[in-house]
Structure 1
Amino acid sequence: MVFKKCLSFDKHAKLEERGHWGSKVEYLLAMAGNVIGLGNVWRFPYLCYKNGGGAFLVPYLVFLMTSGVPLFLLESILGQYTQEGCITCWKKLCPLAEGIGYGGQVILVVGCVTYIIIEAWGLLYLAFSFSSRLPWATCNNDWNTDDCFDVSMQNGSFGRTNQTNTTSPATEFWERRVLAISGGVEELGGIRWEVMLCLLAVWVICYFCIWKGVKSTGKAVYVTATFPYLMLLALLVRGLSLPGALEGVMFYLLPDTSRLADPQVWMEAGTQILFSYSLGAGTITVLSSYNNPSNNCYRDCLWLCLLNGCTSFVAGFAVFSVLGFMAHEQGVPIADVAESGPGLAFIAYPQAVALMPLPHLWAICFFVMLILLGVDTQFVAMEVVITTIIDLFPNEMRKAGRRERLLLLFCILCFFCQLVMITEGGVYLFQLLDYYAYGSGVLFLVVFESLALGWLVGADRIYEIMYDMTGVRINPLFKICWRYITPLVSLVRLVCSLVWYKPLTFNRTYVYPDWAYVLGWALSLSPTLLVLGWALYRLGTVPGTLRQRFHVLCQPDPQYLPTRKKEVELQQISMEDQESIKH
């Protein structure tokens, strides 16, 4: 009954316009908020130090130029030209590849269910940051064990920190207080009610950020996309002023060129480009679809890619200067305190902050930055899902009030699906979905997307579409990338990821049961099956010979948008000639 009420529509309601961004700034901030997220802060710096320091920038830049920027521009053109979501845009440009849009929606929905849990954890940490003493800074708490050792109280004696049976208070706060982690995915246990309340609060924030479409999204990004930079700048300045910061920065950047011979380094660089620039799932396409058709998306693409790369690089200084300080205070090697992902955000960095003067201030700055970096990525993903559904059913869904009800229903369904992941064993399931949903599935979509646009639609046609929209001739090297280099690089990266596949483990020790790996691979392969299944379905339902069907399904819809070239030609003809043409 609740869902029926949410979807009870007035049949005679007036259709609303799809809309555009209120200004160019809103679009750029929304795109920046989407592509600049937690991966810039907690993944890139760790990958950089792990894979050769400054030498890691070589494969990173190679993949950026051959895969990242060309795909980013392709998806921008696709959305801006069709003015549609990430499913209906394929209907108008290459119907055979429409399954790419459906596959992207699967990944985005899983992302909406998993990604926001990180924000709930961050919000809980933020709430604890206002307590009189940071709870992860001391062992004098109910949840601490006898193995807990407070490094701030060691008075120059580092002997006990080298024992394998000791744990830091930050680790115990994370594992025993926040997660109350169980022994495995089979032992779900009870719901963590504090995390659930934080999760509910984040959903409410995200709902009201996008409930009116680009009108509200465009206003929300003024805060969510800019404020994290102020926090990052404050943390960077503070980190560089700490003792041991220089050692941390040198550890982060010191080049080790021998690592370039390791194929795994190149694999991780390519994967970082894919995830950091939000490629494959359709978010760039949808955000660009709200642009004016004549917008210079070529220039926007180059600036946004530059901004993303620079943010990742600078974030490394903020992170490793603080980790260098923590290593200096504890008298241990920096490698012993360097972490990635949740280990950095909820163990290593909070532990380092607890050792600083004014720890509460820096804890608040860090977790506010963490929450805002994640929130704008989250509500952009929600916007993409909702926009895509509305564009699939415009006559039904563009009536007054229907968007808000659809969004509310989506938030409620996602929230109830997430409850299993905020149980005592939920973190195992969270990691499983995160690892497999964003693994081979996205790589498959990128391969299909680059082949579809570079060959079926055609690099020459994409090149002309760009000129028709903007009047700008982009560098001809992009045509070579779209046709040859980007599909080849994407395909090689996919093959290598399958050849060097490593089963997921938790904390390097816990091995998942077989059914969990089956679930993970089913999720990972579902986008691929949607792409291939949809192509076979369309080939089987369109009349004509197989060759005729293939030709028809690879042709753009001839009646949806007048090209800029035609408009320019008409403007050059006199008014009298235009009248004769019309008659």
Structure 2
Amino acid sequence: MPCPGSFFIIYIFLLFLIGTPLLFLEMAVGQRMQQGSTGAWKIVGPWVGGVGYTSFMVCLIASLYLNVLNTWILYYLAQAFKYSIPWEQCPLLKNSSGFDPECQRTTPAVYFWFRTTLKTSDSIEDGGPPDLNMTLPFLLAWCLVGAFMINGLKSVGKVMYVLVPLPYVIALCFLIRGTLLEGAEFGLEHLKVLKISALYDVAVWCFAGVQVLFSLGLGSSPIVSLASHMNPSNNCLHDAFFVMLFNLGSTLLATPSIFCLLGFWATITTYRCSEKNAEMLSSLVTLGKLPPEAQPPENLGHNPGLVFFAWLSSLPPPISSLVLSHIVECDLEKQFLKVKEGSNFAFLAVIEALTFAPGSVFWTILHLLMLLAFGLNIMLGTLQSIVTQLQDSFSPFRRHPKLCTGIYYVILLSEYWMILPIVIIVIFENVAVAWAYGARRFLADLANLWGCSIHPIFHWLWFAVCPIVLLVLLVTCLILLPLNSMSYLAWDSSTSKEVSRQYPMWLLFAMMSLFLAVILPIPMRLVYCLTHGIPFKPTSLDGPVKEVQKEPILQDDNQTADPPAV
């Protein structure tokens, strides 16, 4: 995790510099062409038209693992309704008759519970039967998505009216509640940390740029597909600014609440660590393995960490050294910084933090509902993109619209594989509009449709700034990905601890092959255009656009769609 303060400065800068122009670009293309990615990009830039098929395959692959995340959330949600939340206590581990000494001392109990419940294998290469505990939640996750999409975009639009604002209303509740928790100010202090050196760190800029593309949904075609159902005379520039500001506002709303909860979690976990150390020392003194001078205070008071540290500092050096050899370090700062281990650890830390708070069941259920709403939003957008492109490519899907894995693989796909395809797709989309069709020409077409002029700054952003930034981002990713260790944290069942393992070469080769297969339509389309004499710049848009009849968003059952005006 980069320095939060520095990261947000870079993130906001890139959000305005490339995020908004590229979001406007995708919206304008979908709305102007009235088609999904597979059809729209062939019209805008014939030579780079293969990018639509690439984005379609990326959506297809992403949908396969994104709903696995919703499955886990549904499983957690079902467990949260129990009288006693299972992860309040450490699970029994295979290697001992008791609890692991790290559990609930420096590591969240929910983390151990998550690993043992999912029957996580010792490595990505180990096979085994499927986890039957996940069967029903997995089926339910797909049933929910199917039920929301069964009537096409009409039902999706109505569901979105609930699913989109719901997470932000809940996030506001968490922000208010989080600021009242003990240790919240400690978490907020880390949010304010600003390191000037991070502003010159290429890796931080690369991470922020990738986050801008992912947070706005660029490159994976949902924006183009959804925009294709809008009225061509709609001013999507205003929509792009609204989405960008909504994205920025949601980030500024959610992040402080998460840091408040993480500060609370680190504080309570440090308290419990000191209490566990005191209990261990007392039992060792009782057993005669430590001298009576090593007996800690019976009551550690409201701040166990401070009292225990004060007692430890007062011990003579020989006794202090003996005590230190039997206890675990309980440092508030180091405990908070454990969230740098990854987003999964931070997610589980927040889940456990809620079990410490008053009304833990209510807040846990609310938190999981917020995550489920986020997950369903992403899934609906992704699948609607797939359906739209199928309807644009095959007429039976337009006449009959209703026709339409393990944790280590999810991490590999989401954290490593998805980055390069998305960046490459956005680059070719930018090339199609700015250089193939022509940025000035495209903006002039939009101005004629809207009846108002568009600021020429977007011409320069599309033509020069965005391509340069995206190319730098691509080169940086290509350099950093091989330099970073392609490893993952595996669950070692023999020791009940996480160990770092390298991804096997055959799996990396498979991921590279999948990447090449997804990108293949782009050069294939280029070769096709060259061999058939198709020009780089399109000559006319009238023919292809008028052939497609789009279903407007939230169309009533008694209404019919007007043909798109071109």
Scaled to the shorter chain, the TM-score interval is 0.7 to 0.9
| 2:541 corresponding residue in structure 1 | 557
Q: Is the 8 A contact 2:44 2:433 kept in 1?
A: no
1:239 corresponds to 2:237 = no
After TM superposition, the structure 1 = structure 2 runs for residues 32-47 of structure 1, keeping only pairs within 5 Å, are none
Aligned equivalents of 1:265 and 1:111: distance in 2? 25
SS at match of 1:398: helix
Aligned equivalents of 1:558 and 1:364: distance in 2? 52
| 1:169 corresponding residue in structure 2 | 109
1:368 corresponds to 2:369 = yes
Given candidates 339, 342, 354, the residue that maps to 2:344 is 342
| 2:243 corresponding residue in structure 1 | 304
1:133 corresponds to 2:134 = no
Worse-matched range after superposition: 530-539 or 294-303: 530-539
User: Once the 2 structures are TM-superposed, how far is the Cα of residue 188 of structure 1 from its aligned partner?
Assistant: 2.1
Given candidates 486, 495, 516, the residue that maps to 2:507 is 516
Q: 1:142 to 1:266 in 2, by over 3 A?
A: closer
| 2:216 corresponding residue in structure 1 | 277
Question: For residues 533-579 of structure 1, what are the alpha-carbon distances to aligned partners after superposition, in whole Å with 9 as ceiling and x for unaligned?
Answer: 1111222134xxxxxx334x6334343559xxxxxxxxxxxxxxxxx
Question: For residues 498-545 of structure 1, what are the alpha-carbon distances to aligned partners after superposition, in whole Å with 9 as ceiling and x for unaligned?
Answer: 112234311271111101101112223333322111111222134xxx
Given candidates 145, 148, 156, the residue that maps to 2:100 is 148
| 1:459 corresponding residue in structure 2 | 439
Question: For residues 248-267 of structure 1, what are the alpha-carbon distances to aligned partners after superposition, in whole Å with 9 as ceiling and x for unaligned?
Answer: 01112221222112111111
| 2:524 corresponding residue in structure 1 | 533
1:117 corresponds to 2:55 = no
1:62 corresponds to 2:1 = no
Q: Is the 8 A contact 1:209 1:216 kept in 2?
A: yes
Question: For residues 108-149 of structure 1, what are the alpha-carbon distances to aligned partners after superposition, in whole Å with 9 as ceiling and x for unaligned?
Answer: 001100111001000000001011111111026577954535
SS at match of 1:509: strand
Aligned equivalents of 2:35 and 2:257: distance in 1? 39
Structure 1 counterpart of 2:488, which letter? F
Question: For residues 9-37 of structure 1, what are the alpha-carbon distances to aligned partners after superposition, in whole Å with 9 as ceiling and x for unaligned?
Answer: xxxxxxxxxxxxxxxxxxxxxxxxxxxxx
Q: Is the 8 A contact 1:99 1:535 kept in 2?
A: yes
Q: Is the 8 A contact 1:286 1:387 kept in 2?
A: yes
Q: Is the 8 A contact 1:121 1:195 kept in 2?
A: yes
Q: Is the 8 A contact 1:436 1:520 kept in 2?
A: no
TM-score by length of 1: 0.77
| 2:282 corresponding residue in structure 1 | none
Aligned equivalents of 1:352 and 1:386: distance in 2? 40
Q: 1:284 to 1:97 in 2, by over 3 A?
A: same
Question: For residues 150-192 of structure 1, what are the alpha-carbon distances to aligned partners after superposition, in whole Å with 9 as ceiling and x for unaligned?
Answer: 877xxxxxxxx36xxxx54211111111x21111122121111
Question: For residues 262-286 of structure 1, what are the alpha-carbon distances to aligned partners after superposition, in whole Å with 9 as ceiling and x for unaligned?
Answer: 1111111111101111111211111
| 2:306 corresponding residue in structure 1 | none
Structure 2 counterpart of 1:125, which letter? Y
Question: For residues 93-122 of structure 1, what are the alpha-carbon distances to aligned partners after superposition, in whole Å with 9 as ceiling and x for unaligned?
Answer: 222221010000111001100111001000
Aligned equivalents of 1:503 and 1:85: distance in 2? 37
Aligned equivalents of 1:174 and 1:110: distance in 2? 25
Q: 1:207 to 1:106 in 2, by over 3 A?
A: same
Structure 1 counterpart of 2:453, which letter? R
Question: For residues 193-230 of structure 1, what are the alpha-carbon distances to aligned partners after superposition, in whole Å with 9 as ceiling and x for unaligned?
Answer: 12121011010110111121111111111111121122
User: Once the 2 structures are TM-superposed, how far is the Cα of residue 337 of structure 1 from its aligned partner?
Assistant: 4.4
Q: Is the 8 A contact 1:101 1:281 kept in 2?
A: no
Aligned equivalents of 1:313 and 1:329: distance in 2? 25
Question: For residues 360-398 of structure 1, what are the alpha-carbon distances to aligned partners after superposition, in whole Å with 9 as ceiling and x for unaligned?
Answer: 01110000000011001101111110110111123x322
Q: 1:312 to 1:340 in 2, by over 3 A?
A: farther
Aligned equivalents of 1:444 and 1:503: distance in 2? 22
TM-score by length of 2: 0.80
| 1:390 corresponding residue in structure 2 | 391
Q: Is the 8 A contact 1:428 1:506 kept in 2?
A: yes
Q: 1:356 to 1:388 in 2, by over 3 A?
A: same
Structure 2 counterpart of 1:84, which letter? Q
Structure 1 counterpart of 2:56, which letter? Q
Aligned equivalents of 2:542 and 2:193: distance in 1? 55
Aligned residues: 471
Question: For residues 288-332 of structure 1, what are the alpha-carbon distances to aligned partners after superposition, in whole Å with 9 as ceiling and x for unaligned?
Answer: 111111111111110110110121122111101001011111222
After TM superposition, the structure 1 = structure 2 runs for residues 132-531 of structure 1, keeping only pairs within 5 Å, are 132-139=83-90, 146-149=98-101, 161=105, 167-177=107-117, 179-331=118-270, 332-333=332-333, 334-337=336-339, 340-345=342-347, 347-394=348-395, 396-399=396-399, 402-405=400-403, 407=404, 421=405, 426-501=406-481, 502-507=484-489, 509-531=500-522
Structure 2 counterpart of 1:379, which letter? L
Aligned equivalents of 2:460 and 2:44: distance in 1? 20
Q: Is the 8 A contact 2:43 2:49 kept in 1?
A: no
Aligned equivalents of 1:254 and 1:473: distance in 2? 42
Q: Is the 8 A contact 1:53 1:252 kept in 2?
A: yes
User: Once the 2 structures are TM-superposed, how far is the Cα of residue 339 of structure 1 from its aligned partner?
Assistant: 5.5
SS at match of 1:434: helix
Structure 1 gaps of 5+ residues are: 1-49, 153-160, 408-420, 543-548, 563-583
Q: Is the 8 A contact 2:206 2:477 kept in 1?
A: yes
Worse-matched range after superposition: 50-59 or 167-176: 50-59
Structure 1 counterpart of 2:402, which letter? E
Aligned equivalents of 2:428 and 2:83: distance in 1? 54
Structure 2 gaps of 5+ residues are: 271-331, 490-498, 547-566
Structure 1 counterpart of 2:539, which letter? Q
- Structure having the higher Rg: 2
Structure 2 counterpart of 1:120, which letter? T
Q: Is the 8 A contact 2:351 2:364 kept in 1?
A: yes
